[in-house]
């Protein structure tokens, strides 16, 4: 019997800058190494005989320039052969798989079997659940999850066109049911019912039949300031009319793509960096993640949806690196940003392990004038990469009390630190690398939907990062002194300083808020009196004036 073989591993190959080549040896270039690997691939068949598997080579570099990195798929024998031939002249690092940082609905939308495999022969608790809106209409495509007392006792399903889902827990009873949770795919707040009481629930054919009602996330006639993150960062203070006629700031959303048909999204272009062999595949967002991020960053308010932090007319580009995102995907996307002269790049993704190849890619992009913002991560541990790199603005997630229903799953994300109405998210990564904090709990934004008007509330540092990227893009639009600077490291540094100068201390620990939250400066008090953002901005100005006088 033949077992299933394992696939060769993906690696990143760069030149070691510390390597000293003998004078008698001609200089090594990645171009020549790539040619050698191509020739080896032509001679070999994958997995044939005792020879190494045929390498698959992808050259990474800015268009028109020699490659700075090779993304190569090799087995262990192929790697050994390279090391034997070139020694320490090459840096060979794993091409690491990356994660998107969010806790939105499951992207697969398929039935998942019960997790308690140890009690399949025992009694079972079956729940037939209907999810409905306040008028009793069915809510399809909502993820329903039930959790029992046993550590691995859980089941989840997705509601059908009639709003019905069925979950089965083995080895559980009506009194041991720990929680029921609903996460609608769009349009409604989630529900979390702890210790649900089934004593009054109808039971037919061995199943408990119950209904869970969910409420809409957007009310009729709302405006931008009803979106708590937009309001908290005082983005309504921005006077966009002053800057009409200027070319839009170019923003790259390096993510899972953008749904271009959504009613509030108008991406100006993009590129796909996955293995789908279709440069236009960025228009098909398979997880919804990139579309949600894009809306927070640059949606145009149409009276029904939301307004992105960048304000109206942002020039967004969708760079899809998922599904299957790896370090090489980000490197290729950043090369594209350099070539297309992108101003601001958002990366709501990352991994726990740094690579020299990615650090070099970030340095090249910053030197070329690309301002990079990245999500810190959702593991409640050290800051992930690329956010942890010095030249990237690392964003942590925070929330606001009363910005979501108390019985929604968002309530689970209150962290240990709270100051006034703001709290750190329990999932956010933390550490000295954190630069700023932004709304990342119960963030309402755009998602793909059949009617092209879907909105959903998600949690994650993925949701916080585009608030900061959009804020930075809006600063570029509003301040000609920044926008008109020559593209390069100096403009990136000046924009970074300008962003940090708008930050207000939230009273949370430095490791979870960095310099605080960016708040748009208010030109004048709001008509209804001074709001919190206006007061804080005024206090900051007074504080700076006092510092200058004392100095």
Asked if 397 and 383 touch (Cβ cutoff 8 Å), the reply is no
Handedness of CA 362, 354, 326, 106 (dihedral sign): negative
Asked if 95 and 79 touch (Cβ cutoff 8 Å), the reply is no
Q: State yes or no: is 462 an active-site residue.
A: yes
Q: State yes or no: is 526 an active-site residue.
A: no
Q: Say which of 289, 292, 317, 417 is annotated catalytic.
A: 289
Contacts of 4 (CB under 8 A, 6+ apart): none
The rounded distance, in Å, linking the Cα atoms of 278 and 71 is 19
DSSP 3-state of 328: helix
Q: Which H helix or E strand runs over 129?
A: strand 124-132
Q: Which H helix or E strand runs over 474?
A: helix 461-478
For 292, phi then psi, to 5°, come to -65, -45
Q: State yes or no: is 289 an active-site residue.
A: yes
In the structure encoding, which two tokens stand for residue 247, read together? 């070319």
Asked if 274 and 324 touch (Cβ cutoff 8 Å), the reply is yes
Contacts of 503 (CB under 8 A, 6+ apart): 436, 514, 515, 516, 517, 518, 519
In the structure encoding, which two tokens stand for residue 214, read together? 């969910």
Asked if 512 and 396 touch (Cβ cutoff 8 Å), the reply is yes
The rounded distance, in Å, linking the Cα atoms of 208 and 198 is 8
What DSSP state is assigned to residue 230? Answer: H
The rounded distance, in Å, linking the Cα atoms of 313 and 268 is 10
Q: Say which of 154, 408, 462, 465 is annotated catalytic.
A: 462
Contacts of 462 (CB under 8 A, 6+ apart): 100, 101, 102, 289, 292, 293, 348, 349, 375, 378, 440
Residues in a beta bridge with 97 = 326
Nearest CA-CA partner of 145 in 83, 103, 193: 193
Q: Say which of 102, 255, 272, 435 is annotated catalytic.
A: 255
Active site residues: 255, 289, 462
């Amino acid at each position: 019997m033949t077992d299933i073989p394992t696939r060769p591993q993906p690696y990143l190959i760069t030149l070691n800058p510390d390597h000293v080549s003998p004078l008698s040896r001609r200089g090594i270039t990645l171009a020549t190494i790539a040619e050698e690997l191509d020739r080896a691939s032509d001679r070999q068949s994958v997995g044939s005989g005792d020879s190494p598997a045929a390498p698959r080579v992808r050259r990474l570099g800015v268009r028109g320039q020699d490659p700075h990195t090779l993304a190569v798929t090799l087995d262990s024998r192929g790697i050994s052969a390279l090391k034997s031939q070139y020694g320490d002249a090459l840096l060979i690092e794993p091409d690491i798989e990356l994660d998107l940082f969010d806790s939105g609905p499951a992207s697969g939308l398929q039935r998942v079997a019960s997790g308690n495999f140890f009690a399949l022969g025992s009694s079972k608790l079956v729940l037939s659940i209907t999810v409905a809106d306040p008028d009793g209409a069915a809510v399809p495509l909502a993820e329903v999850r039930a959790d029992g007392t046993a550590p691995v006792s859980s089941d989840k399903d997705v509601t059908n066109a009639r709003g019905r889902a069925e979950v089965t827990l083995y080895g559980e009873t009506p009194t041991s049911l720990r929680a029921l949770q609903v996460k609608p795919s769009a349009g409604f707040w989630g529900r979390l019912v702890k210790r649900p009481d089934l004593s009054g629930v109808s039971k037919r054919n061995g199943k408990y039949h119950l209904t869970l009602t969910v409420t809409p996330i957007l009310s009729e006639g709302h405006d931008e300031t009803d979106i708590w993150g937009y309001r908290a960062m005082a983005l309504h203070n921005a006077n966009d009319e002053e800057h009409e006629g200027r070319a839009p700031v170019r923003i790259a959303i390096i993510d899972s793509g953008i749904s271009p048909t959504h009613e509030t999204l108008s991406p100006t272009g993009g590129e796909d960096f996955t293995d789908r062999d279709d440069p236009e595949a960025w228009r098909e967002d398979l997880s919804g993640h990139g579309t949600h991020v894009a809306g927070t960053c640059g949606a145009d308010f149409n009276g029904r949806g939301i307004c992105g932090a960048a304000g109206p007319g942002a020039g967004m580009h969708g760079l899809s690196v998922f599904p299957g995102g790896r370090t090489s995907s980000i490197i290729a996307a950043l090369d594209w940003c350099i070539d297309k002269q992108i101003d601001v790049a958002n990366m709501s993704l990352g991994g726990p392990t740094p690579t020299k190849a990615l650090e070099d890619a970030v340095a090249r992009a910053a030197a070329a004038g690309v301002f990079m913002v990245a999500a810190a991560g959702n593991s409640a541990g050290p800051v992930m990469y690329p956010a942890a790199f010095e030249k990237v603005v690392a964003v942590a997630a925070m929330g606001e009390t009363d910005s979501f229903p108390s019985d929604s799953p968002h309530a689970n994300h209150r962290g240990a630190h709270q100051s006034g109405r703001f709290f750190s998210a329990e999932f956010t990564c933390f550490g000295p690398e954190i630069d700023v904090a932004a709304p990342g709990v119960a963030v309402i934004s755009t998602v793909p939907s059949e009617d092209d008007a879907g909105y959903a509330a998600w949690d994650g540092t993925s949701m916080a990062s585009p608030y900061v990227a959009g804020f930075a893009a809006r600063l570029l639009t509003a301040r000609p002194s920044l926008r008109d600077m020559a593209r390069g490291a100096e403009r990136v540094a000046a924009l970074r300083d300008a962003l940090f100068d708008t930050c207000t201390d939230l009273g949370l620990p430095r490791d979870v808020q960095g310099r605080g939250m960016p708040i748009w400066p208010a030109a004048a008090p709001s008509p209804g009196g001074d709001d919190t953002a206006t007061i804080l901005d005024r206090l900051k100005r007074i504080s700076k004036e006092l510092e200058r006088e004392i100095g």
